[in-house]
């Protein structure tokens, strides 16, 4: 749409606003205002421009003007986007004029710390559907008012020109002048009609509005437009009432009646042929065709909407300045933050000096439930054995003090470490070879002996390609092919026997698997090795997976408790698996994460950046305390402690928690 | 094994070497013709005559059982082969003494006339190949099992000790009961202190412990320092070294006062007598020490030679401890017993068994009524010195207990073990109060604060010592600085200094600033 066209559109609103502000219409102000808007000036400048016309009320006026501008823009946006655009508007409620701002919002802000709301939210608007309806109403009203005004003006001019002329200087108006006036008036009337036509076309381009207006159909609209053209205010009832469903009232005969009791013919949907429907439609279409040209001829006889007219020159792109003081504000905010931090640091320092913090922290980790001191007994139970209750020390009636020496039953320790540790016998390569040579020689000797004693048939002579002439001389000469085939068969047989023997020695796939598992599942008779790790942040699913998968593969049992700063990993198993798991936790996993841009800014906390894993404790226990590796999210400390207490290992938790508290103490 | 015959058919005949001496056709023709003539003349007659004369025997259908006998012989031969093969696989010790022992266990003569070790070894091997190689092991295992079951089913039994034992026990009862009374009274008085005051005191203590810092470090010897102990007046520190020397150091300036020469091997502990430096004469027995060769020596503060030796141990003595009265000395031995020595009568009044393995540490109750011992069997036992009975059995550690210490409050006992934990036991209800997962290696030493037991000090082979609040057991401070395993720790009786000694041949003093 051309720039001037837009201005024309705005004109009625501007006029209305001017009238509201001043109490009367003033075309100069309107023109000036439109001029300002057309130039794309901002509010302040517009105010400056309009001050000579409007004095004090300039501010208020400009405010309203811009509101109106905003409204018109949004209206245009709706219209331009068509159905699709409107749908999106339903979702995105913010009154954005075009796509430009949306793109702008995606821009990465230069200041990450201080988030400036990019879009200053406008006045709270109603739902978009409502908005358009209201706009329609406004547009209509404005148009009718304008037309009436114009008419009045025209009339007053026609009537009052002589008087005005007389008043102006007493001189009479020449007929030519009058004619020019007349021409003027006619010109204006034509313009008004054109305007109407434009509004009309605007309305026509909004099928949604058509829907909102109800099923009045194109006839109705056309009639409305005609009414506008004739300058008669259209009846405003339809727009309001069509939305409401008409009450369904049935009389005693079951017919539908309206409020007054008149019978109402409801549209009945009768099954009919497609051909009939088409015929009706064709008829309607023809009627439309018949009517349209007549209506169009009046206004847009030379206007082809399909032709897109490019403006003569490209509109100058306006500068997009930041609001004044925006960066000042951001800087101020950063400064304040830094100052606050410095202040906190100072306070912490002071607190540390005086020892307040350490004590409070220690109080924090002091046992919640003080170990019940209990009553101080009158006498310790071991003393009460030798002391009858009512004895005085002076008397010393001692009981049970004898010269007997006790030999209590000796109980063997829970783990038997008495077994002598035997090292495997490992032979050198040379020794291995020697041993093999000897055993093979002995085996061969045995076979020879057996053959000699006739316990075993002598073995077939071993033939190779190289020795076949020597072994099978004549036959080889007589039938070399047969002999070679025989030799080759024997060689193949030997090879096969060798390979089969190897294969027989080999473990089957299952056995191999079992062997592997057996190696991993270590002997836990001498106690279960336990290690406890503390991690500052264990939210990353990849890392969680690594921990769990490795524990399961190493046949480690245990638990993982997720708590804010204390993520505890407890694993139990054999010493070898523990060694491997320790390497995983302390070396292989890189705990600290430098968050990428994809991460949301609030996920970027200190624990993630300075994430770390500590080995809190490792040692041995008699039995496994946990089952299969499980994760548990514990929002509170008590919950975590309860979880461990359930398995009889609350001391792991206590240790980790107090360490984390004390670490925090030293960090500050 | 593949079938031999099937291929034999297809196989070409093996080449035979032939010698050709010219044509035999002539001779053969002659031979054949003469044969034909003779057979025609007297073929059947001669045979008949032969049969009649008994020179030709033709059986009338009966056969001899040759096959069976042959297969029997074959079986025997195969069995012999099998046995020889087995014998080859049996491993027999090359140690002649072991071979002899094996032969004896199997009921064979241990040696034959003119038999050397190699022959003997072969003989044992052949015997084992007949009876099976498991025979020897089985007999050994049976023996062990019998021994162990005898031990296990052993019931508690008593024997009568000497008369001096009863005297000592009575003395101990008279000594300990009033002390217990006084302690309980003091505890009751302590209860009257308001909660707030107690909290403030605790916080102050924690604050000071948090500020513990290495105050001085001194190279104690050229071998690892195994033990350190403060004197009662906190003016001296005694250290024991693996070189066999014990040294006295002034505190806190760490100057060497005296070197005590007497032991030849690793000294396990050197302990001040409770009244040393306070009420005890310099020339009196002020120190006791023990070494790995089982020697226990007593020292005074004037000479660098021992005042007296206590003899009677044959195995390693790991720790000595003084009874609070200073009259008795307890020693622990790796012969699964601990002993009580009376210095007044100058004799061993008690030889106490009960642990199934060596006893490592002993500590006496502050009242003087109880003694706690911990051993390599991972159990602790608390003995009543007056009645001589084991009153509490501490079961819970998985591995050896290396250290025990009574709290000055009289009813808490801490044990440090090879399973890297420290357990705190409540004696009043005889159960484990808390398990402190203290270190990452075995705990070599545990100490309570001697004044009022408000903190616990543990030293371990992970090169650190740690201070824990008690109760609460939060890790207040880690005393890291040693380059070797921490082998002993002690807290000075006035509660100000902490001493640690280490495998890295140094001992360090720690002080709160």
Query: Parallel, antiparallel, or unpaired: how do β-strands B401-406 and B390-394 relate?
Result: unpaired
Is pLDDT at B341 greater than 60 in this prediction?
A: yes
Asked whether the predicted pLDDT for residue A411 surpasses 90, the reply is no
Using CB atoms and an 8 Å cut-off, which of residues 169-188 of chain A contact chain B?
none
Res B405: pLDDT: 95
pLDDT at A291: 67
Query: Which string of b and e fits B143-177 if b means at least 16 CB within 10 Å?
Result: eeeeeeeeeeeeeeeeeebeebbbebbbbbbebbb
A629, A630, A636, A642: CA torsion to nearest 10: -70
Across B416-443, average pLDDT: 93
Of residues A67 and B418, the one with the higher pLDDT is: B418
Residue B1 has pLDDT above 90, yes or no: no
Between CA A124 and CA B199 the distance in angstroms is: 58
Return the residue matching tokens 């038999």. B115
Contact A455 B15 (CB under 8 A): no
More confident residue, B158 or B50: B158
DSSP 8-state code for residue A378:
S
pLDDT for residue A24:
67
Query: Higher-confidence residue: A597 or A170?
Result: A597
Nearest Cα residue in chain A from B430: A381
When mean pLDDT is compared over A127-136, A473-482, B252-261, the highest value belongs to: B252-261
Nearest to B336 by CA among A412, A416, A414: A412
Judged against a pLDDT cut of 80, whether residue B18 lies above it is answered with no
Q: Over 70: is that where the pLDDT of A235 sits?
A: no
Pairwise CA distance, residues A134 & A122, whole Å: 18
Question: Which tops the pLDDT comparison, A310 or A641?
Answer: A641
pLDDT tier at B382, thresholds 50, 70, 90: very high
> HSE on the CB side for B217, CA within 13 Å?
11
Work out the percent of chain B whose per-residue pLDDT is above 90.
55
Output A84 or A412, whichever has higher pLDDT. Answer: A412
pLDDT in tens, A4-50: 556 666 777 777 777 776 666 667 777 777 776 777 667 777 777 77
Is the predicted pLDDT of residue A138 greater than 60, yes or no? yes
What is the mean pLDDT of the segment spanning B493-509?
93
* pLDDT confidence bin for A562, thresholds 50/70/90: very high
Q: Could A415 and B181 be called an inter-chain contact, meaning their C-beta atoms sit closer than 8 Å?
A: no
Name the token pair of B301: 């503060």
Q: How far is A478 from chain B (nearest CA, A)?
A: 10
Cβ distance B158 to A404 less than 8 Å, yes or no, reads yes
Confidence of residue A290 (pLDDT cuts 50, 70, 90): confident
Task: Please tell me which residue, A237 or A582, carries the higher pLDDT value.
Answer: A582
Q: Which residue has the tokens 């009339």?
A: A155
- The reported pLDDT for the residue numbered A158 is 57
Q: Taking the CA atoms of A480, A483, A487 and A488 in sequence, report the sign of the dihedral they define.
A: positive
**Which band of pLDDT confidence, cut at 50, 70 and 90, is reported for residue A392?**
low
Name the residue among A622, A538, A523, A525 with its Cα closest to residue A576: A523
Mean pLDDT for the stretch of residues B211-235: 93
Neighbours of B111 (CB within 10 A): 16
Cβ <8 Å between A383 and B163? no
What percent of chain A is modeled with pLDDT above 90? 24
pLDDT in tens, A506-546: 999 999 999 988 888 888 888 899 999 999 989 889 999 99
The separation between the first and the last C-alpha atoms of chain B, rounded to the nearest angstrom, is 87
Q: Give the residue, A146 or B348, on which the prediction is more confident.
A: B348
Q: Are A627 and A605 in contact (CB under 8 A)?
A: no
* d(C-alpha A35, C-alpha A28), whole Å: 10
- Are A409 and B357 inside 8 Å of each other by CB? no
With a cut of 60, say whether residue A359 has pLDDT above it.
no
* Contact criterion met (CB < 8 Å) for A446 and B84: yes
What's the gap in Å between the CA of B187 and the closest CA on chain A? 7
**Chain-chain contact of A362 with B378 (C-beta, under 8 angstroms):** no
Higher pLDDT, A201 or B400: B400
The 3-state secondary structure of B386-439, one letter per residue: CCCCEEEEECCCCCCEEEEEECCCCCEEEEEECCCEEEEEECCCCEEEEEEECC
Measured in angstroms, the CA of B210 and the nearest CA of chain A are apart by 9
pLDDT digits (tens, 9 = 90+) for B161-210: 888 999 999 999 989 999 999 999 998 888 888 888 888 888 888 888 98
Positive/negative CA dihedral, B11, B12, B17, B18: positive
Mean pLDDT confidence for A556-573: 92
pLDDT of residue A222: 45
Residue-level pLDDT at A126: 42
Nearest CA in chain B to A478: B12
Q: Quote the pLDDT of residue A264.
A: 64
| Sign of the four-CA dihedral A658, A664, A665, A667 | positive
Q: Hey, are the CB atoms on A382 and B188 less than 8 Å from each other?
A: no
CA distance A513 to chain B (A): 30
Q: Residue B3 phi/psi, 5° resolution?
A: -75, 140
Assess contact for A201 and A305: CB atoms under 8 A: yes
Q: Which of A406, A662, A665 sits opposite B388 (nearest CB)?
A: A406
Phi first, then psi: what are they for A234, rounded to 5°?
Answer: -80, 150
Lowest-confidence range among A211-215, A305-309, B438-442? A211-215
* Optimal mutation site among A354, A381, A405, A420, interface B, most CBs of chain B within 10 A: A405
Q: What residues 433-462 of chain A have any CB closer than 8 A to a CB of chain B?
A: 439, 442, 446, 449-450, 453-455, 457, 459-461
A438 → chain B, closest CA residue: B88
What is the DSSP secondary-structure string of A311-360?
PSSPPPPPP-PPPTTHHHHHHHHHHHHHHHHHHHHHHHHHHHHHTHHHHH
Tell which residue, A527, A416, A620, A619, has the closest CA to residue B376: A416
Q: What are the tokens at B494?
A: 């006035």
pLDDT band at B308 (very low <50, low <70, confident <90, very high): very high
Interface of A with B in 614-653 (CB under 8 A): 615-622, 651-652
Can you give the pLDDT at residue A335?
A: 96
Report the pLDDT value the prediction gives residue B501, as an integer from 0 to 100: 95
Interface of A with B in 462-481 (CB under 8 A): 471-475, 479
> Chain A residues with CB inside 8 Å of B12's CB?
472, 475, 479, 482-483, 486
How far apart CA B238 and CA B230 sit, in angstroms, is 6
Looking at the complex, does the CB of residue A423 fall below 8 Å from at least one CB of chain B? Answer: no
Under 8 Å CB-to-CB from B212, ≥6 apart: which residues?
B467, B477, B479, B498, B510, B511, B512
Name, of A98-112, B151-165, B319-333, the range with top average pLDDT.
B319-333
With a cut of 50, say whether residue A170 has pLDDT above it. Answer: no
Handedness of CA B465, B469, B473, B476 (dihedral sign): negative
**Is B298's pLDDT higher than 90?**
yes
B152, B179, B474, best to mutate vs chain A, most A CBs in 10 Å:
B474
Interface of A with B in 403-422 (CB under 8 A): 403-415, 417
Q: Which residues of A45-57 are buried (b: 16+ CB within 10 A; e: fewer)?
A: ebbebbeebbeee
Q: Is the pLDDT of residue B224 over 90?
A: yes
Letter string b/e over residues A189-217, b meaning 16 or more CB atoms within 10 A of that residue's CB: eeebbebbbbbbebbeebebbbebbeeee
∠ CA B231-B235-B238 to the nearest 5 degrees? Answer: 50
Angstrom distance (rounded) from CA B184 to CA B189: 9
| Highest mean pLDDT out of A2-11, A360-369, B7-16, B248-257 | B248-257
| Banded model confidence at residue B22, pLDDT cuts 50, 70, 90 | low
Chain B residue with the nearest C-alpha to that of A358:
B207
Calculate what percentage of chain B has a pLDDT beyond 70.
90
How large is the average pLDDT for residues B338-367?
Answer: 92
Q: What is the mean pLDDT of residues B99-119?
A: 91
Q: pLDDT digit string (tens) for B112-159?
A: 999 999 999 999 998 988 888 777 777 667 777 777 666 655 778 888
A471 contact residues in B (CB cutoff 8 A): 14-15
Determine the Cα–Cα distance for residues A594 and A632; give it in Å rounded to an integer.
Answer: 26
Give the pLDDT band (50/70/90) at residue A122: very low
The phi-psi region of residue A555 (left if phi > 0; otherwise alpha if psi is between -120 and 50; otherwise beta) is left
- Give dist(CA A429, CA A437) in Å, integer: 12
Mean pLDDT of B334-359: 91
Confidence of residue A427 (pLDDT cuts 50, 70, 90): very high
What was the ipTM of the complex prediction?
0.77
- The answer on pLDDT for A83 being more than 70 is no
**Given CB atoms, is A395 within the 8 Å cutoff of chain B?**
no
- The 10s digit of each residue's pLDDT in A262-281 is 666 666 667 778 888 888 89
């Amino acid at each position: 749409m051309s720039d001037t066209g837009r201005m024309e559109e705005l004109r009625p609103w501007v006029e209305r606003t001017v009238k509201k502000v001043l109490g009367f219409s003033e075309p100069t102000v309107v023109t000036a205002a439109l001029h300002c808007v057309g130039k794309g000036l901002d509010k302040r400048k517009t105010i400056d421009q309009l001050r000579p016309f409007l004095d004090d009320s300039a501010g208020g006026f400009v405010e309203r003007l811009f509101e109106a501008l905003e409204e018109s823009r949004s209206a245009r946006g709706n219209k331009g986007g068509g159905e699709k655009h409107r749908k999106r508007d339903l979702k995105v409620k913010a009154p954005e004029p075009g796509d430009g701002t949306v793109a702008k919002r995606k821009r990465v802000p230069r200041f990450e710390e201080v988030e400036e709301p990019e879009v200053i939210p406008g006045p709270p608007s109603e739902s978009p559907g409502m908005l358009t309806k209201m706009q329609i109403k406004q547009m209509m009203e404005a148009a009718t008012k304008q037309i009436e005004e114009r008419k009045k003006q025209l009339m007053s001019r026609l009537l009052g020109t002589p008087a005005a002329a007389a008043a102006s200087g007493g001189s009479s108006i020449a007929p030519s002048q009058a004619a020019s006036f007349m021409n003027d008036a006619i010109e204006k009337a034509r313009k008004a009609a054109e305007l109407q036509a434009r509004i009309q076309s605007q309305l026509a381009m909004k099928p949604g509005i058509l829907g909102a207006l109800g099923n009045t159909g194109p006839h109705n609209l056309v009639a409305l437009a005609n009414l506008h053209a004739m300058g008669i205010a259209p009846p405003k009832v339809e727009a309001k009432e069509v939305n409401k469903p008409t009450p369904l009232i049935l009389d005693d005969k079951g017919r539908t009646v309206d409020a007054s009791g008149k019978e109402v013919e409801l549209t009945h949907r009768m099954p009919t042929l497609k051909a009939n429907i088409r015929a009706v439609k064709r008829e309607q279409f023809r009627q439309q065709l018949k009517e349209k040209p007549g209506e169009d001829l009046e206004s847009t006889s030379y206007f082809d909407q399909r032709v897109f007219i490019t403006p003569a020159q490209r509109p100058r792109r306006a500068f997009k300045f930041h609001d004044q003081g925006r960066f000042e504000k951001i800087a101020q905010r950063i400064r304040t933050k830094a100052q606050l931090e410095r202040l906190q640091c100072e306070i912490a320092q002071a607190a540390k000096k005086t020892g307040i913090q350490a004590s409070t922290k220690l109080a924090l980790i002091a046992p919640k439930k003080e170990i019940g001191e209990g009553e101080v007994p009158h006498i310790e139970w071991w003393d009460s054995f030798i002391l009858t209750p009512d004895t005085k020390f002076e008397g010393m009636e001692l009981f049970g003090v004898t010269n007997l020496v006790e030999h209590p039953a000796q109980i063997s320790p829970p783990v038997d470490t008495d077994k002598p540790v035997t090292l495997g016998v490992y032979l050198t390569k040379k020794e291995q070879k020697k041993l093999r040579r000897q055993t093979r020689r002995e085996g061969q000797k045995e076979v020879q002996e057996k053959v000699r004693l006739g316990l075993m048939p002598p073995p077939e002579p071993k033939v190779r390609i190289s020795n076949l002439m020597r072994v099978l001389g004549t036959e080889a000469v007589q039938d070399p092919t047969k002999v070679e085939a025989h030799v080759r068969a024997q060689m193949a047989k030997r090879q096969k026997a060798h390979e089969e023997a190897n294969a027989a020695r080999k473990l089957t796939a299952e056995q191999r698997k079992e062997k592997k598992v057996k190696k991993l599942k270590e002997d836990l008779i001498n106690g279960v090795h336990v290690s406890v790790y503390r991690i500052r942040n264990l939210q990353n699913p990849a890392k969680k997976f690594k921990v769990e998968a490795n524990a399961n593969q190493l046949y480690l049992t245990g638990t993982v408790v997720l708590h804010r700063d204390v993520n505890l990993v407890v694993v139990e198993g054999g010493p070898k698996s523990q060694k491997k798991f320790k390497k995983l936790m302390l070396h292989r996993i890189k705990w600290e994460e430098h968050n990428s841009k994809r991460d949301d800014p609030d996920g970027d906390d200190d624990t993630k950046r300075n994430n770390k894993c500590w080995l809190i404790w490792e040692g041995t226990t008699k039995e496994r305390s946990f089952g299969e590796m499980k994760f548990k999210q514990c929002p509170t400390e008590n919950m975590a402690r309860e979880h461990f207490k359930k398995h009889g290992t609350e001391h792991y938790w206590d240790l980790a928690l107090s360490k984390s508290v004390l670490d925090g103490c030293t960090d500050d | 094994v593949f079938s031999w015959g099937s291929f034999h058919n297809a196989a070409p005949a093996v080449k035979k070497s032939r010698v050709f001496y010219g044509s035999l056709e002539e001779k053969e023709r002659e031979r054949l013709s003469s044969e034909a003539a003779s057979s025609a003349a007297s073929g059947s007659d001669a045979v008949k005559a032969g049969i009649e004369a008994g020179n030709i025997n033709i059986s009338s259908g009966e056969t001899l059982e040759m096959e069976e006998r042959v297969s029997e012989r074959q079986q025997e031969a195969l069995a012999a082969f099998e046995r020889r093969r087995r014998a080859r696989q049996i491993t027999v010790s090359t140690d002649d003494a072991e071979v002899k022992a094996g032969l004896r266990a199997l009921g064979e003569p241990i040696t034959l006339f003119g038999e050397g070790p190699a022959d003997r070894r072969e003989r044992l091997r052949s015997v084992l190949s007949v009876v099976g190689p498991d025979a020897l092991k089985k007999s050994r295992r049976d023996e062990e099992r019998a021994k162990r079951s005898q031990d296990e089913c052993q019931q508690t039994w008593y024997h009568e000790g000497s008369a001096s034992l009863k005297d000592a026990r009575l003395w101990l009862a008279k000594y300990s009961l009033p002390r217990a009374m006084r302690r309980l009274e003091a505890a009751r008085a302590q209860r009257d202190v308001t909660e707030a005051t107690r909290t403030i005191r605790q916080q102050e203590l924690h604050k000071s412990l948090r500020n513990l810092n290495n105050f001085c470090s001194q190279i104690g010897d050229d071998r690892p320092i195994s033990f350190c102990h403060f004197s009662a007046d906190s003016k001296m520190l005694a250290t024991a070294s693996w070189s066999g020397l014990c040294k006295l150091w002034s505190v806190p300036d760490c100057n060497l006062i005296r070197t005590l020469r007497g032991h030849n091997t690793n000294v396990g502990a050197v302990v001040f007598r409770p009244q040393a430096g306070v009420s005890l004469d310099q020339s009196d027995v002020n120190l006791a020490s023990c070494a790995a060769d089982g020697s226990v020596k007593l020292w005074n503060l004037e000479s660098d030679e021992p005042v007296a030796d206590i003899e009677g141990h044959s195995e390693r003595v790991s720790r000595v401890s003084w009874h609070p009265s200073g009259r008795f000395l307890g020693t622990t031995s790796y012969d699964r017993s601990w002993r009580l020595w009376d210095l007044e009568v100058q004799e061993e009044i008690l030889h106490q068994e009960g642990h199934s393995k060596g006893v490592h540490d002993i500590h006496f109750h502050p009242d003087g009524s109880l003694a706690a011992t911990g051993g390599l069997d991972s159990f602790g036992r608390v003995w009543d010195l007056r009645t001589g009975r084991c009153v509490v059995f501490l079961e819970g550690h998985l591995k050896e207990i290396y250290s025990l210490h009574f709290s000055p409050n009289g009813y808490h006992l801490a044990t440090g073990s090879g399973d890297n934990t420290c357990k705190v036991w409540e004696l009043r209800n005889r159960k484990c109060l808390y398990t402190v997962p203290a270190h990452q290696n075995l705990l070599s030493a545990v100490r309570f604060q001697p004044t009022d037991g408000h903190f616990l000090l543990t030293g371990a082979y992970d090169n650190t010592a740690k201070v824990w609040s008690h109760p609460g057991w939060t890790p207040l401070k880690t005393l890291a600085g040693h380059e070797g395993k921490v082998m002993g720790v002690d807290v000075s009786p006035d509660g100000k200094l902490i001493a640690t000694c280490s495998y890295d041949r140094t001992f360090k003093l720690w002080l709160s600033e």
